[in-house]
Amino acid sequence: MASLSTRSEITHKAAEILSQARHAIVFTGAGVSTPSGIPDFRGEKNGLWKKSDPMRVASRTSFFQTPGVFYDWFRPLFMTSWKALPNKAHIAIAKLETASLAKAILTQNIDGLHQKAGARKVLELHGSALLFSCPNCRLQVKAEEVYTLFEKGLELPLCQKCRSVIKPEVVLFEEPLPEDIWKEAESEARQADVILVVGSSLEVFPASMIPQNALAHGCKLIINNFSPTPLDAYASCLVRQDAASFFPELLAQLKL
């Protein structure tokens, strides 16, 4: 990786790589949403997994065997996600897509903020906290209905049809990633000549395989993340900067 000494040099290099791309894709993790008030999961100080055992609160077993424990954990995350607004990074990424400088956004996040910012092709690898369905009868439940129930003090949302506890459409521990989304993400990675990683530690398997597979066929890599990742040494451009401050500068370089 070439050594770039100043913030402006790094931003200029990232803009240059993106402007020359044929098929650039964006891969996002929790770091793109923390400026919007969404807690991350693996942060060294305030990560959710520092406070809770993920297998106890966020596994398939915990949902079906102890739904009260599951919803005690999930309820505040859902409420925060429902009320959260996109930050400058989400808005800028949507503008990259509108300008055809990003062909797709692949995200590990479940907060729906890319869509709120106006992005169209968003592949949610870990599902969405803003969608619900009944695991028994498959009835779809609108997120605003669940939010209203929680605001009224209800602890467990039940299916109106069969009275089972409804489940958010998120990928829990012990569950596979959605097959159709995964196949589409793999296709995007095969086509990509540039992948821009934003706010991801690249440690969560199998989602972390997407950038690795893109690199394997010669894709250029831009990483915007505060903490080190396993792929830093392969990055053409490494940005140690908050996403919400980096992206407006990137758009300015691209004259968007």
Q: Which residues are catalytic?
A: 126
Side-chain half-sphere exposure of 92, counting CA atoms within 13 A? 24
Which stretches within the chain are classed as H helix?
Answer: 7-19, 48-51, 54-57, 60-65, 67-83, 88-98, 113-116, 143-151, 179-191, 209-216, 243-254
- CA 54 remoteness from chain centre: 18
Cβ 68 vs Cβ 57: under 8 Å: no
**Angle, alpha carbons 20-250-231 (nearest 5°):** 70
Residue 166 contacts by C-beta under 8 Å, 6 or more apart in sequence? Answer: 132, 133, 134, 135, 139, 141, 146, 157, 158, 159
Strand partners, 165: 158
Residue 192 contacts by C-beta under 8 Å, 6 or more apart in sequence? Answer: 23, 24, 25, 103, 214, 219
What whole-number distance in Å separates Cα of residue 23 and Cα of residue 159? Answer: 43
Cβ 108 vs Cβ 126: under 8 Å: yes
Closest CA to 172 of 27, 34, 62: 62
Cβ 86 vs Cβ 116: under 8 Å: yes
Torsions phi, psi for 178 (to 5 deg): -60, 125
